[in-house]
């Protein structure tokens, strides 16, 4: 019989280190805080100015968005790359606005602190700035803080209208997957003098029109570094070298599950990791420290 005067023994409390692990278990990067403040556009601008690297990944649903935030990702991009990695399409051209709105809403429901960017898909901003505004508004209503669009100087007036009406814009230059056929395939852009001059001119036009972020894909590291130092807005690289303000990868690529031929700029962060969450954490740590991208990931 138990002595009624003896208080019952409390069950042991599980510590974080003893908590069961899972496929999505996330070890926090060194120095990260569990009480992170929401990432704002001003915070991203400040990070760029201070030389603090921005870690961005693509996500398309709430579960992975949660895991990325736990790992310390600063920004989540709902990319039209979902056409390739989610829908099984050969290109991003058939991706619809409805699909982008759906997946943006999924990610936005999970969002606590990260800056959410959504792609305007092919054909939704080409007709006129007014049509682009109506479509961008749907992404904003779904939870996007910023929209991304591909293209050079011809998008200037669209960028101007969107920013004037309160929707921040990320301009995507270099390799633009929506028009990859016109570029004769997935080739590095801006390698010759004329190509580099064209990218620099378009970047300046778009920033002057109000673009508050630039994404450079598959351009030489020297060109990306020059633009990062001169433009005054964050420059996010994917295959654009380590001098950019930050990096982005397609989630499926950095987990080694994308299938097909792996681009040079991709590293498999799941290899050697104990969980998907740990892979995300390793990515954040290596982007922040400058360990990624390394020379072998650079053009």
pLDDT higher than threshold 50 for residue 3: no
Write down the pLDDT at residue 150.
97
Residue 174, beta-bridge partner list: 217
- 8-state DSSP, 74: S
- Residue 231 in domain: no
Q: Is residue 198 part of a domain?
A: no
Helix/strand/coil (H/E/C) assignment for every residue in 154-165: HHHHHHHHHHHC
**How far apart are alpha carbons 136 and 149 in whole angstroms?**
10
Kindly report which listed range (4-18, 220-234, 259-273) carries the lowest average pLDDT score: 4-18
Q: Kindly state the average pLDDT of the residues 278-282.
A: 98
Whole-angstrom Cα distance, residue 184 to residue 174?
A: 13
Cα separation, 226 vs 230, in Å, equals 6
Q: Give me the pLDDT at residue 187, please.
A: 87
Q: Is 193 a catalytic residue?
A: no
Q: What is the span of the domain harbouring residue 79? A: 33-172+245-297
Burial 173-194 (b: 16+ CB within 10 A, else e): bbbbbbeeeeeeeeebbbeeee
Domain CATH number, residue 140: 3.20.20.60
User: How does 79-100 read in b/e, with b if 16+ C-beta sit within 10 Å?
Assistant: bbbbbbbeeeeeebbebebebb
- On whether residue 14 sits in a domain, the answer given is no
Is the confidence at residue 8, as pLDDT, over 60? no
Which of 55-69, 171-185, 249-263 comes out lowest in average pLDDT?
171-185
Mean predicted lDDT score pLDDT of the chain? 90
What is the Cα–Cα distance from 157 to 27, expressed in whole angstroms?
44
Which residue blocks in the chain are alpha helix, DSSP H?
41-50, 62-71, 82-85, 97-110, 129-142, 156-164, 193-209, 221-231, 251-254, 276-289
Residue 180: the pLDDT is 76
Band of residue 152 on the pLDDT scale cut at 50, 70, 90: very high
Encoded tokens for 105: 């809403």
pLDDT in tens, 25-78: 555 544 444 578 999 999 999 999 999 999 999 999 999 999 999 999 999 999
Closest CA to 246 of 114, 63, 151: 114
Residue 38's pLDDT is what?
97
Residue 181 lies in a domain: no
- Asked if residue 5 has pLDDT above 70, the reply is no
Question: Given the DSSP bridges, would you call strands 169-174 and 246-249 parallel, antiparallel or unpaired?
Answer: unpaired
pLDDT bin (cut points 50, 70, 90) of residue 200 is very high
User: What value does the mean pLDDT take over residues 216-243?
Assistant: 98
**DSSP 3-state of 72:** coil
Give mean pLDDT, residues 120-133: 98
Residue 14 pLDDT = 39
Instruction: Label residue 18 by pLDDT band (50, 70, 90).
Output: very low
Q: Taking the CA of residue 96 as centre, how many other CA atoms within 13 Å lie in the half-sphere pointing to its CB?
A: 4
pTM exceeds cut of 0.75: yes
pLDDT of residue 31: 42
186 part of a folded domain? no
13 or 217: whose pLDDT is higher?
Answer: 217
Residue 142 structure tokens: 């779904």
The total of structural domains in the chain comes to: 1
pLDDT (mean) for 254-279: 92
Return the bridge partners of 217, or none.
174, 238
Calpha distance 254→252 (Å, rounded): 6
Closest CA to 66 of 95, 29, 26: 26
Task: Give the closest residue to 54 by CA, choosing from 205, 273, 243, 217.
Answer: 243
Judge whether 61 lies within some domain: yes
Q: Which helix (H) or strand (E) holds 58?
A: strand 54-58
d(CA 201, CA 195): 10
Mean pLDDT, residues 11-30: 45
Bigger pLDDT: 10 or 63? 63
Asked if residue 193 belongs to a domain, the reply is no
Helix (H, G, I), strand (E, B) or coil at 55: strand
Residue 12 pLDDT grade (very low, low, confident, very high; cuts 50, 70, 90): very low
User: 24 pLDDT exceeds 80?
Assistant: no
| Orientation angle between helical segments 62-71 and 276-289, nearest 10 degrees | 50
pLDDT band at 260 (very low <50, low <70, confident <90, very high): confident
Report the percent of the chain where pLDDT is more than 70: 87
141 in a domain, yes or no?
Answer: yes
For residues 66 and 60, the answer to whether their CB atoms sit within 8 Å is no
Active-site residue (options: 217, 226, 243, 296):
217
């Amino acid at each position: 019989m138990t002595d009624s005067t003896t208080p019952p023994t409390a069950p042991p409390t599980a510590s974080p280190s003893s908590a069961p692990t899972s496929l999505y278990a996330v070890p926090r990067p060194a120095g990260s805080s569990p009480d992170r403040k929401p990432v704002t556009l001003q915070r991203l601008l400040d990070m760029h100015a201070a030389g603090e690297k921005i870690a961005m990944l693509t996500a398309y649903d709430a579960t992975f968005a949660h895991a990325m935030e736990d790992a310390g990702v600063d920004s989540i991009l709902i990319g039209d790359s979902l056409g390739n990695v989610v829908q099984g399409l050969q290109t991003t051209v058939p991706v619809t606005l409805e699909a982008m709105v759906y997946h943006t809403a999924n990610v936005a429901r999970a969002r606590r602190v990260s800056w959410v960017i959504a792609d305007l898909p092919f054909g939704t901003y080409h007709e006129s700035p007014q049509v682009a505004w109506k479509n961008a508004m749907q992404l904003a209503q779904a939870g996007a803080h910023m929209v991304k669009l591909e293209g050079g100087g011809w998008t200037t007036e669209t960028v101007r209208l969107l920013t004037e009406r309160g929707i921040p814009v990320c301009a995507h230059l270099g390799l633009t997957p929506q028009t990859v056929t016109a570029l004769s395939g997935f080739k590095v852009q801006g390698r010759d003098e004329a190509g580099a001059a064209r990218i620099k001119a378009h970047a300046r036009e778009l920033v002057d029109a109000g673009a508050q972020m630039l994404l450079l894909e598959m351009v030489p590291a020297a060109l990306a570094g020059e633009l990062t130092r001169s433009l005054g807005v964050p420059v996010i690289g994917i295959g654009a070298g380590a001098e950019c303000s930050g990096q982005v990868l397609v989630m499926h690529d950095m987990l080694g599950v994308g299938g097909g031929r792996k681009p040079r700029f991709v590293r498999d962060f799941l290899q050697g990791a104990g969980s998907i969450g740990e892979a995300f954490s390793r990515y954040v740590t290596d982007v922040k420290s400058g360990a990624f991208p390394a020379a072998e990931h650079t053009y």
